[in-house]
Structure 1
Amino acid sequence: MLTHVISYFYPDLQSDEIKKFKLLSYTLFLIIGTYWLLRLLKNTLFLKVAFPESLGWLAHQGRLFQPTAKFWSPFVVLGLVLVYSKLIDIFKKHQLFYIICSFYALIFSSLAAILFFKEWYGVEAVGRTLLATTGWVSYFAIESFGSLVVALFWSFTNSITTSDSAKRGFPLIVAIAQLGAVAGSAVLVFSDSIGSLWPILALASVLVAAVIPMIRYFMATIPAHELKGNVVALKTEKKKEGFFEGFFSGFTLLVSRPYLLGVLVISTFYEAISQIVEYQMQAQATLSPLYVSDVAFTRFQGIYGVSINILSFVVALLGTSYVIKRFGLRRSLVIYPLAVALLILGFVIYFKLALPSATQLLWITFGMMVLIKGLGYAVNNPIKEMLYIPTSKDAKFKSKGWIDTFGSRFAKAGGAQVNNKLKDDLSELLVYGSFISLGLIGLWLVAAVYVGAKNHVLIKENKIIE
């Protein structure tokens, strides 16, 4: 039944590709569903649970700590990238899923146990230190999970897919993955009925663990000839390196190849921009009387996530393949940054001329973030992943690991520093933050034009970046 539906919406997929991309889609469904469940829960844990006033913290202490957490996040992830880079040299590509997913399943189940203890015995029994530590650990674990595991999935998928096959199959992967994101977000919408947060974290740990048998089944059922990507890139997969050499080789390759630096800009600048706008929305929501309790705030996060991912699913199902086929990779790369620039310009003009109320401002920033995130996941993400196909194994895994973990976190930290400087006056943050975002978009467009042209030459001449 599902195969017929896939064939209807994606008629260009070849018969032998359907099972491969369908199983990859299910895997990313689990990963993205877990990520969105945790991503939205992360804010509730950090802003509403970890620093209660009853234990001596200031009111809204979590909101005041959030820019600091964003700043330190890249440095925490740096250590994980060090380990990840070495694991790439030691283990086969699919075995990395077993190791990394087991690690995160253990962390999230431990956090669930602490919250269970808090639910039954109260915050005083847990204690100020352990509860605060739970907030910080959950924040960094969820931040790194969203980068590391998603980056691993796409590195794996890029390494077993050709450019032509990716154009046919990646939109399907993104569409089904967005259903996972909708499902993960929807769980939080019903947080009132669930009544507490520990079952949600427990569910997340189960979903992360479920990735392991999914990958095992994929490797057991997909023929070996369908697990080969770019032929030139395959020749680079036997290379082995020492511990620190392997760690820094991805970084060295990244900073010495303009193409990869351009991919870095395309992959991370929107993170800084969305960080600035999203902080405005989160700050307004935490101050709203409608979302005072942790459960009510969780429900708001759920509504936010569901809205983003429904939009992403619709666009991925009906629009992503059309955009890639109609405009090609080169022009598709500039569509998203232009759309973000128009949204930000419209927002600033409305804010200065219409003088909206606090409630109106909350829902305007909400709508803008839904569009920025939704279009990013459905259009920008699959297109930027295709950029890694004409690259070596080190670029696909190690350099991409740097970009999607440390690079992404560093971009968010940059956005957080803007928020930290301007957080005392939301009006200044709205105006100056928007102008900083427009400046970043200008650099982003330059990178998109260069990378699109270079990718076209690499594919045409059957060359790779190595």
Structure 2
Amino acid sequence: MIASVVRFFYPELKQEEVRKFGLLALAFFFTIGAYWMLRLLKDAIFFKVAFPASLGWLPDQGALFQPLAKTYSFVTVLVLVALYTKLVDLFEKQKLFYIICSFYAALFAGITAILIWRDVAGVEAVGRTLLAATGWVSYLAIESFGSIVVALFWSFTSSVTDTEAAKRGYPFIIAGAQVGSIAGSALNIFAEHLGGVSRLFFVATVLVLMIMVVVWYFMKTIPAEQLVGNRQAAQTEKKKEGFVEGFLAGIKLLFTRGYLFGILIVATFYEVINTIVDYQMKRQASVFPQYATENGFAKFLGIFGVATNSLALFMALLGTSYIMRKYGLTFCLLSYPIVLGLALGSLYLLYAYGNPSAAVMLWSTFGVMMLAKGLSYAVNNPTKEMMYIPTSKDAKFKTKGWIDMFGSRTAKMGGAQFVEPFKKNLPDLMTYGTLLSLGLIGVWFAAALYVGRKNAELTRKGEIVG
């Protein structure tokens, strides 16, 4: 029954691939479901829970701290990426899931316990210091979880998939992820009825544990011949390195291979833009009367998550696979910066010349962010992940680790640092943020064009990078 439904939406999938990509989609369902639930809770906790005015904080202290939190996230991920590159050499790729997910499950369980204590005993019992520390730790942990576990999943998937199979199966994986993200986001809408953010944090912890279960079952049941991706790249998997050499291997490849540096631009420049627009949207929502409370703000973020991921799911089911096969990967890489640039330009014109009300401006910014995130998840992300298929193990895991963790954090930190001087002046942020964003989009477009053409050349010649 399930296989028939899958084949209806993805008729190009081979019979033997349905199980393989189905399990990968399920693993990513739990990964993204947990991540979206947590990322929305992260902001709800940081904005509305960790720094209560009753304990002496400013009413909007969490919002004022957010740009600084993005900077601290950069430092946190720098340390974690160093540990990750060493773990890649020490353990088999599936065991990395068990180690990393166990760490996060334990950490999230501890945060859940503190939040439940707050619900039962009140903020005064927990205390100003512990509650603030919980906000900071949860923010940094969730930010790093989104970088590390998502990057690990795609590194693992690209190591067991070739380019042609990826064109057939990656849209299916993305669809599974979007169902998970919609479910995770939807639960935030009903946070108040489900017992508050502490109960949702508990659910997210269980989802992290389920990732390990699915990966274990995948390795146990999928035949060995289906676990080989690009054969030239597979020959590099036995390579071992010392800690310093392994730590630097990913960086060296990144800055000596133009193809990988191009992927860095494609994978990170949009993060700067999204960080700027995301702050505008959340700051507007946090002072909007309907969403000013803890549960009201969580509800707004839940609505945003459901809308964004519903758009991405619709595209993943009906459009992504067709676009990839009909127009090619280069077209997919170029479509995102073009559409995002047009959306940002339209938003600025509305702000500058449309005299919008606060509600119109909030929902227009919401629409731009929904489009930006939806296209990213449904088109840009699966396409850029396919760029790693004709690369070595070091490029797939170590260089990709640097790009997705360190590069992504750097981009978000850059966006946050740009926001910092304008965080109390949204009109100036709108003006200068739009100018910066359009400039970045120009560079991003050129890099996407180069990477797409180079990938086609590597695939045609049967060569790898790294």
Return the TM-score normalized by structure 2: 0.99
Report the identity percentage: 55
* Partner residue, 1:190: 190
Q: Which amino acid aligns with 1:134?
A: T
CA distance in 2, matches of 1:440, 1:421: 20
Q: How does 1:88-107 map to 2 (within 5 A)?
A: 88-107=88-107
Q: How does 1:27-42 map to 2 (within 5 A)?
A: 27-42=27-42
* Partner residue, 2:275: 275
Q: Which amino acid aligns with 2:231?
A: V
CA distance in 1, matches of 2:319, 2:175: 10
CA distance in 2, matches of 1:392, 1:313: 31
* Partner residue, 1:324: 324
* Partner residue, 2:80: 80
1:11 aligns with 2:11: yes
CA distance in 2, matches of 1:185, 1:322: 27
* Partner residue, 1:22: 22
What SS does structure 1 have at the residue aligned with 2:93? coil
What's the offset of the Cα at 1:205? 0.7
CA distance in 1, matches of 2:160, 2:179: 24
* Partner residue, 2:465: 465
What SS does structure 2 have at the residue aligned with 1:157? helix
Q: Which amino acid aligns with 2:207?
A: L
Q: Which amino acid aligns with 1:358?
A: A
What's the offset of the Cα at 1:256? 1.2
1:114 aligns with 2:114: yes
What's the offset of the Cα at 1:72? 1.8
What's the offset of the Cα at 1:327? 0.9
What RMSD, in angstroms, separates the aligned Cα atoms of the two structures?
Answer: 0.7
* Partner residue, 1:374: 374
What's the offset of the Cα at 1:260? 0.6
Q: Which amino acid aligns with 2:63?
A: R
CA distance in 1, matches of 2:256, 2:75: 22
CA distance in 2, matches of 1:194, 1:235: 50
1:154 aligns with 2:154: yes
What's the offset of the Cα at 1:375? 1.1
CA distance in 2, matches of 1:458, 1:439: 29
* Partner residue, 2:223: 223
CA distance in 1, matches of 2:72, 2:190: 32
Q: How does 1:383-394 map to 2 (within 5 A)?
A: 383-394=383-394
* Partner residue, 1:175: 175
Q: How does 1:306-317 map to 2 (within 5 A)?
A: 306-317=306-317
CA distance in 2, matches of 1:84, 1:425: 39
What's the offset of the Cα at 1:333? 1.1
The 4+ residue runs of structure 1 with deviation greater than 6 A are none
What's the offset of the Cα at 1:429? 0.7
Q: How does 1:40-439 map to 2 (within 5 A)?
A: 40-439=40-439
What's the offset of the Cα at 1:358? 1.1
CA distance in 2, matches of 1:87, 1:195: 38
CA distance in 2, matches of 1:301, 1:333: 28
Q: Which amino acid aligns with 2:260?
A: L
| Cα-to-partner distance string for 1:183-225 (whole Å, 9 max, x where unaligned) | 0001001112023211111111111011111111100100000
What's the offset of the Cα at 1:253? 1.0
| Cα-to-partner distance string for 1:249-303 (whole Å, 9 max, x where unaligned) | 1111111111111001101111111111010000001111111210111111100
What SS does structure 2 have at the residue aligned with 1:192? coil
Q: Which amino acid aligns with 1:226?
A: Q
* Partner residue, 1:445: 445
| Cα-to-partner distance string for 1:306-361 (whole Å, 9 max, x where unaligned) | 00000000011001011101110122210111000010111111111111011111
Q: Which amino acid aligns with 1:420?
A: E
CA distance in 1, matches of 2:443, 2:65: 30
CA distance in 1, matches of 2:362, 2:283: 9
Q: Which amino acid aligns with 1:191?
A: A
What's the offset of the Cα at 1:435? 1.0
Q: Which amino acid aligns with 2:61?
A: Q
CA distance in 2, matches of 1:63, 1:347: 23
Q: Which amino acid aligns with 2:92?
A: K
What SS does structure 2 have at the residue aligned with 1:229? coil
CA distance in 2, matches of 1:327, 1:190: 40
| Cα-to-partner distance string for 1:120-166 (whole Å, 9 max, x where unaligned) | 11111111111110000000000000110000000000000000000
| Cα-to-partner distance string for 1:356-388 (whole Å, 9 max, x where unaligned) | 011111111011111110111001010000000
CA distance in 2, matches of 1:335, 1:296: 35
What's the offset of the Cα at 1:424? 2.1
CA distance in 2, matches of 1:401, 1:83: 11
CA distance in 2, matches of 1:69, 1:48: 15
CA distance in 1, matches of 2:357, 2:57: 30
CA distance in 2, matches of 1:165, 1:196: 42
Deviates further, 197-206 or 19-28: 197-206
Q: Which amino acid aligns with 1:27?
A: A
CA distance in 2, matches of 1:332, 1:209: 33
CA distance in 2, matches of 1:72, 1:212: 28
CA distance in 2, matches of 1:292, 1:436: 30
What's the offset of the Cα at 1:422? 1.4
Gaps of 5+ in 1: none
Q: Which amino acid aligns with 1:392?
A: S
Number of aligned residue pairs: 466
